[in-house]
Amino acid sequence: MLRNTSIIDKYVKLAESANASIMVDGDTIHIVAKPEYIPGLAGKLFNEFKCVHRTCVATDERPLNGFFSLTHLFTDDSNGFYVALKTYLEGDKPRAPSIIEQVPAADWCEMEARDLVGIEFEGRSAYRLVLPPGWPSDVYPLRKDFQYDKRPSILPVSEKITITEESSTVPVGPYHPALHEPEYFELYVEGEKVVDVKYRGFHVHRGIEKLGESRMTYQQVNFLAERICGICGFEHSTCYALAVEKAAKLDVPERAQFIRSIILEVERLHSHLLWLGVAFHLVGYDAGFMHMWRIREKVMYLSEYLTGSRKTYGINLVGGVRKDINEEKKPKILETLDTLEKEFKELVGIATSVPQVKRRLTGTGILPREDAVKLGVEGPVARASGVDRDARRDLPYAAYKHVSFKVPVYTEGDNMARTLVRVDEVFESISMIKQLLDQMPKGPIRLEEFDIPPGKIGVQVVEAPRGGDIHFVVTGEGKPYRWRVRAPTYNNIPALRVMLRDQPLADAPLTIASIDPCFSCTDRVVVIREDGSVYKLSLVEGVKL
């Protein structure tokens, strides 16, 4: 308590230095300041307090108070706090100072706020990130006066490959050769060496936040959140549920939190085994690929045994879970985990010692720790670059406070380090599931009756296989007033420019895959014409990395 008081005093003094208001609500410190103070406060949080900038949220609060708002979300991982730095902006012409000079990681979220809510940022160059160039300049989809089913007229514009005299251009996309998701990279090469990169994504932005705020109930959003990603959907639905429960101050049954943690770790096992198989395929080691996916089938079986589905489980609700794990299932779960652990240990020992695999992974795609911190990268990408951060330990949620586990950290920052982090995490996840099964308390698995008052704020990070998912909720009447989602790939993609530069062209597909990108997680609007046909958006300008 003394330690927490001392820490909170530090934040109080920071707020007082900018004549800002401050409120502590549970594990979240809310600071509200005038716009002109935001860059200075953000800089101190990032550079002096060593907080992590997770994302920013633009909200149309005009129906409530006549203003827009902008909230930068930080986490103080050393002390277990969330920090929400908020400012109000004029309702007729919202302008905010940019913080990218102080916090480079805020680049994309500022441009997303500009695209979707119409916030103009001062002190930086602006570009379109999410919306296509042909989108009308005065239409902002996340403003409250924009109807979710409105389809503005868009003028498609074609993009041309950038040609320069200094280097050759190699386009990669619009589909990754191994990951089968839409993304577009332009690699500029001199000889066999990559000298620069341009990325363009957001081809499949699905407007999920707008749907959640417009036509769905609190409980329905759980199932929408799970469909953000086909690999780590349960991470998203858990993150959403925890954010709403935090806002409403719901005391969720402990047994439900244990079940959530077990399924979260099962999902991590599936994700890491899938990625390891893809990585071996990309380096030409297809025996490793097939055996890894053979082992992965045991996790798919386990998922079906526990939830009834191999993927997209649909068991999360605000207030708990829909499906119990009874005592009769435990022996089968433990038997499956033991077999999985034995086979994985044997396979990964062989695979990581294959000379060709070692040569392709070692010393390629290096991300130095300094850049990892500056760009706010997440998950195994961060931990492979020496950033010791894991929300399960630092910002504990669900039942993680009841289990012991190691957070694997490597300092090499290369493709091998990112591989080894995931290998180590497979063993840790198996251990955690066993601990959780052993300690699982008896009792109900969900709350039967509860209220969610409007106007409350909840923010939650869940450590997904690719890194921290973050969900931010402002409660409304029967549904979220504002729901902001940020997936870890959103923060990891900008680091690829560092990782690919001065590297051999042949390693580019592997290095791109090494962040385990999920473009659907990151993109979340497909444009559909009134006759029901879908067309691809074309772009004239790529995004500066």
Give the 3-state secondary structure of 524-535. Answer: CCCCECCCCCEC
Query: pLDDT tier at 525 (50, 70, 90 boundaries)?
Result: very low
By the 8 A CB rule, do 309 and 303 touch? yes
In the predicted structure, residue 545 carries a pLDDT above the cut 60: no
Query: pLDDT tier at 158 (50, 70, 90 boundaries)?
Result: confident
In the predicted structure, residue 541 carries a pLDDT above the cut 50: no
In the predicted structure, residue 530 carries a pLDDT above the cut 80: no
| pLDDT score of 321 | 98
Q: Which amino acid is at 432?
A: M
Residue 542 is classified by DSSP as: P
Cα 433 from Cα 399, distance rounded (Å): 11
Query: pLDDT tier at 202 (50, 70, 90 boundaries)?
Result: confident
- C-alpha 518: how far from chain center: 9
pLDDT per position as a tens digit, 136-147: 989 999 999 999
Mean pLDDT (whole number) for 203-214: 87
In the predicted structure, residue 533 carries a pLDDT above the cut 50: no
| pLDDT score of 203 | 78
Tell me the Cα Rg of the chain: 23
Report pTM. Answer: 0.92
Q: Determine whether the annotation assigns residue 485 to a binding site.
A: yes
Neighbouring residues of 502: CB distance < 8 A, sequence distance ≥ 6: 193, 194, 195
Six-digit token pair at 18? 């900018």
Topology agreement, domain 1-160 and domain 208-522: no
Mean pLDDT (whole number) for 309-316: 94
More confident residue, 308 or 523: 308
Query: pLDDT tier at 171 (50, 70, 90 boundaries)?
Result: confident
In the predicted structure, residue 122 carries a pLDDT above the cut 50: yes
Report the percentage of the chain scoring pLDDT > 70.
94
Cα 218 from Cα 405, distance rounded (Å): 33
In the predicted structure, residue 4 carries a pLDDT above the cut 80: no
In the predicted structure, residue 25 carries a pLDDT above the cut 80: yes
By the 8 A CB rule, do 201 and 523 touch? yes
In the predicted structure, residue 288 carries a pLDDT above the cut 50: yes
DSSP per residue over 402-460, as a string?
A: GS-------SS-SHHHHHHHHHHHHHHHHHHHHHHHHHPPPS-SB-SS----TT-EEEE
- 81-89 and 28-32 as β-strands: parallel, antiparallel, unpaired? parallel
**Helix or strand holding residue 16 (H, E):** helix 2-16
In the predicted structure, residue 116 carries a pLDDT above the cut 90: yes
Mean pLDDT (whole number) for 329-352: 97
pLDDT per position as a tens digit, 376-395: 999 999 999 999 999 999 99
Rounded to the nearest 5 degrees, what angle is found at the Cα of 203, between the Cα atoms of 198 and 205?
A: 125
Mean pLDDT (whole number) for 313-330: 96
Among 95-104, 171-180, 279-288, 459-468, the range scoring the smallest mean pLDDT is: 171-180
Query: pLDDT tier at 2 (50, 70, 90 boundaries)?
Result: very low
Cα 138 from Cα 153, distance rounded (Å): 12
Among 157-171, 354-368, 453-467, the range scoring the smallest mean pLDDT is: 157-171
In the predicted structure, residue 9 carries a pLDDT above the cut 60: yes
Mean pLDDT (whole number) for 248-266: 98
**Helix or strand holding residue 298 (H, E):** helix 286-307
The full set of domain ranges for the chain reads 1-160, 208-522
Mean pLDDT (whole number) for 213-217: 94
User: CB neighbours (10 Å) of residue 122?
Assistant: 11
pLDDT per position as a tens digit, 414-449: 999 999 999 999 999 999 999 999 999 999 999 999
pLDDT per position as a tens digit, 362-381: 999 999 999 999 999 999 99
| pLDDT score of 521 | 65
| pLDDT score of 10 | 96
User: CB neighbours (10 Å) of residue 442?
Assistant: 8
Six-digit token pair at 302? 């386990």
State in Å, rounded, how far the first CA of the chain is from the last one.
43
Cα 135 from Cα 303, distance rounded (Å): 42
Architecture of domain 1-160: 2-Layer Sandwich (3.30)
Mean pLDDT (whole number) for 82-107: 97
By the 8 A CB rule, do 221 and 479 touch? yes
By the 8 A CB rule, do 270 and 263 touch? no
| pLDDT score of 539 | 35
Instruction: Report the largest interatomic distance among the alpha carbons of the chain, rounded to a whole angstrom.
Output: 69
Cα 230 from Cα 209, distance rounded (Å): 17
Cα 54 from Cα 15, distance rounded (Å): 20
Q: Which of 514, 491, 529 is nearest to 201 (CA)?
A: 491
Mean pLDDT (whole number) for 34-63: 97
User: CB neighbours (10 Å) of residue 411?
Assistant: 12
Mean pLDDT (whole number) for 257-267: 98
In the predicted structure, residue 156 carries a pLDDT above the cut 60: yes
Q: Determine whether the annotation assigns residue 232 to a binding site.
A: yes
Q: Which amino acid is at 102?
A: Q
| Sign (positive or negative) of CA dihedral 101, 106, 111, 117 | negative
**208-522 fold:** Cytochrome-c3 Hydrogenase; chain B (1.10.645)
More confident residue, 250 or 138: 250
211: phi then psi, degrees, rounded to nearest 5: -60, -45
Q: Determine whether the annotation assigns residue 328 to a binding site.
A: no
More confident residue, 267 or 522: 267
DSSP 3-state of 102: coil
Mean pLDDT (whole number) for 190-213: 88
Q: Determine whether the annotation assigns residue 56 to a binding site.
A: no
Counts for the chain of helices (H) and strands (E), in that order: 19, 15
Query: pLDDT tier at 161 (50, 70, 90 boundaries)?
Result: confident
More confident residue, 196 or 39: 39
By the 8 A CB rule, do 473 and 383 touch? no
Q: Which of 413, 289, 283 is nearest to 355 (CA)?
A: 283
Average pLDDT over the chain reads: 92
Query: Angle at which helices 415-439 and 254-282 pack, to 10 degrees?
Result: 150
Cα 277 from Cα 290, distance rounded (Å): 7
Neighbouring residues of 462: CB distance < 8 A, sequence distance ≥ 6: 235, 236, 238, 239, 242, 264, 391, 397, 468, 469, 471
DSSP 3-state of 176: coil
Query: pLDDT tier at 523 (50, 70, 90 boundaries)?
Result: low
Q: Where are any strands of DSSP class E within 334-453?
A: none
By the 8 A CB rule, do 495 and 372 touch? yes
Rounded to the nearest 5 degrees, what angle is found at the Cα of 199, between the Cα atoms of 197 and 202?
A: 175
- 120-122 and 95-97 as β-strands: parallel, antiparallel, unpaired? parallel
